[in-house]
Every structure is written in structure tokens, then in C-alpha cells.
Amino acid sequence: MSNLININRNEGDDVAAEPNEGSLVSSLAAVANRAVRIPANVRNAGADLEARGVHAWFGANHVLSDINLAFSAGTVTALIGPSGCGKSTFLRTLNRMHEFIPTAAMAGEVLLDGVDIYEQGTDVTKIRLKIGMVFQKPNPFPSMTIGENVLSGLKLAQLKHSNKSDLMEECLTRAGLWNEVKDRLSAHGGSLSGGQQQRLCIARALAVSPEVLLMDEPCSALDPGSTLRIEETIRHLAESVIVVIVTHNMQQAARVSDYTGFFLSEDGPGRLIEFAPTREIFSRPKDPRTEAYVTGRFG
């Protein structure tokens, strides 16, 4: 345990600077309790996503070991843990973006509605249509206008839609960006601020009606105001899609998520140390390593 405490000391979480550990746990737990809970009866009985025994490698380097996690419809799951613990890699195995790295390898199953997305003969583009992704760095397409960016998924996947302007408005509204851009839909995506660009990327991901939305540290490059807007957006999205969010910011995990998974790599591949309702992770974590992390004793 003692060597863990020194791992990634300068990780940069504002939580880590907090001196009073006891009160921090309770305040995070309080935040988690305050987060808007959507009553179970309004959640749609949508898709289910489950990872079974997922391992990942880069070359000979085993980075992720035996992850078993289930995500149910209408929930937001936060994945937390220090840098290099494999949480982003895990996220990328969930929509087969992992295989984009030339040396990547994996084992295990990822079941979307009971069907393994890694099964031979699976149309990977259809998988990624159902499991959308928002990246750490806002990446709107520079050659397209704001409106074209929102609808770009339809064109990329060659989908038809009867009313594109309605869809554009709906997605931008759901991403919390409509009021800011409705008068300049033909401006270039690059003319927006960083936070607006990220919300544009969320709108773009929503336009193809995914069942799952994966977010890889979506707020790490953003200011607090934009972060707040995106967190509101995430809460609203949870009504219709499964959201899985990787975050370095534990307060963010406490604010937006229903469940939290804590990843840790101890001189070896990253493992899922604890998975529980967010409230419990922050108020009474079962594993001492989780407690050490969420109270800011390391990471």
C-alpha cells in the first residue's frame, strides 16, 4: 500500500489538494446524493451493455485485466482512477475504437443487448452507430459548418432522415447548444469556443441516435462554466441513453453519475477495484484503496 501513495502525486485533481479527508468524503457523498435522480418509471427500457472478462494489451504490455461491468439503461456510470490505470482503454474497447491502435489486442466479450460486438462478421460501423463516443479534445470537423457537423454522422453512415432541420434542432437542444448557435448554423465549427465545440461534438454523436454514449474525459479541456453545461447535458441524456464517462474529476463523478467504477493499476495491468452506486463509493467505499483514492491520499 505504501508505494501506492506516491503514484502520480502531481495528478492534478483539485480534490487531492483538500486537506481534510473526512469532511471531503462526506461532502462528495452529499454531492452524489444531490445529483438529480431520474425515477425508474420514466427511464426507457433501452439497451444493455455488458463487459465480460475484458483484457487489453498494447504489444506485449498487458494494460487491462479481467474487467466485468454491466451498464443498464438510463444510468450514468463514471469510471475513475489515476492516470494509466486503463480506464480510457476500457472505454475504447466498448465501441471497438481500441483496435485503431496498431499494436492493440484484447480478450473477452462486450455484449450489446446480449450480442458480442467482437463476434466474427459483425459490422463494426453499425456497432459504432449504436455506441457513440465523445472525445477528450473537442474535434468538430473543420471543413464543415455547425449544422453540417451535427448531421455529419448521417452522411458518414449514409443514413436517411426525413426532417434534417428538426433533427439538427433537437440534437443541438439536447446538447444544450441550440440557443447559442441557432442564428449561425452556417458558421464554421471551429469558430465556437472550446466548451461550445464539445457540446457540438455531443450533438453530433446524438444525431445518429446511439443507445450508448461513451465520454472520454469530455470536460478536461474546458472551463468550469462549460463543464457545468455539459454535466447538465449528461444528466438529461441519461433519460434516453446509457452514458459511460471517464473522468479525472471526482467531484464531477459525484455530480453526474449513478454508478462509479474505480480502476487501479498496481505494478501490472489495470483492474476494476470497486464498482458500486456512486453514493457508496464516496461515502462508504468497501476497498481501502478506493477510500485512499477518493479521499485524495494518492492520485
Partner 1 sequence: MAQSTSTQILDPSPGRPWQKSPRQFIPDLVVFVLALAVSEVTVSLTGLRGKIALLSLFTLYSMAGSMVIAFRRRGISAMGNALASSFVYLSVALVALPLFSVVITVISRGVHALRINTFTQDMAATQPDAPFNQGGALHAILGTIVLILLATAISVPIGVLTGLYLTEIKGRAEGLVRFLVQAMSGVPSIVAGLFVYAVWIVGGHGGFSGFSGAVALSILMLPTVARTAEEVLRLVPNDLREAGVALGGTQWRTVVMVVLPAARSGLITATVLGIARIAGETAPLLLTIFGTTAKHFNPFSGPMSALPLYVFQLLQSGLNVAIARAWTGSLVLLAMITVLFTFARVVGGKSKS
Listed in sequence order, the DSSP H helices in the chain are 21-34, 87-94, 124-130, 146-156, 164-174, 178-181, 194-206, 224-237, 250-256, 278-283, 288-294
Give the bridge partners for 245, in sequence order: 78, 215
Cβ 135 to partner 1, closest distance in Å?
Answer: 6
Return the number of the residue (82 or 147) whose C-beta is nearest partner 1. 147
Cβ-based nearer residue to partner 1, 215 or 250? 215
Work out how close the CB of 4 gets to partner 1 at its nearest, in angstroms, rounded to a whole number.
32
In whole angstroms, the minimum distance from the beta carbon of 295 to partner 1 comes to 34
- What is the closest distance, in whole angstroms, from the C-beta atom of residue 156 to partner 1 in the complex? 3
Q: Which residues, in sequence order, are CB contacts of 144 under 8 Å at separation 6+?
A: 152, 188, 189
Q: At its nearest, how many Å lie between partner 1 and the CB of residue 155?
A: 6
Identify whether the C-beta of residue 31 lies closer than 8 Å to the C-beta of residue 260.
no
Separation CA 219–CA 203 (nearest Å): 15
- Following CA atoms 118, 119, 120, 126 in sequence, which dihedral angle do they give, to the nearest 10 degrees? -70
Residue 260: CB minimum distance to partner 1, A: 24
Residue 50, phi then psi, degrees to nearest 5: -140, 135
Check if the beta carbon of residue 140 is closer than 8 Å to that of residue 190: yes
Backbone angles phi, psi at 14, to 5 degrees: -65, -25
Kindly state the smallest distance separating residue 136's Cβ from partner 1, in Å: 9
Cβ-based nearer residue to partner 1, 128 or 229: 128
Q: Which of 273, 246, 137 is nearest to 201 (CA)?
A: 137
Nearer to partner 1, 10 or 100 (CB): 100
Residue 198 or 278: which CB sits closer to partner 1? 198
Q: What SS3 class is residue 291?
A: helix
Nine-digit cell string for 92: 475504447
* Least gap, CB of 123 to partner 1 (angstroms): 10
Residue 127 or 264: which CB sits closer to partner 1?
127
31 contacts 23 by C-beta, under 8 angstroms: no
Torsion of CA 66, 264, 222, 194, to 10 degrees: -30
Query: Bridge-partner residues for 212, per DSSP?
Result: 131, 242
Q: In terms of CB distance, is 123 or 267 closer to partner 1?
A: 123
Report the interface residues with partner 1, using CB under 8 A: 95, 97, 100, 102, 125-126, 128-129, 132-133, 135, 137, 139, 141-144, 152-153, 155-158, 201, 204-205, 208
> Is 25 or 94 the residue whose CB approaches partner 1 more closely?
94
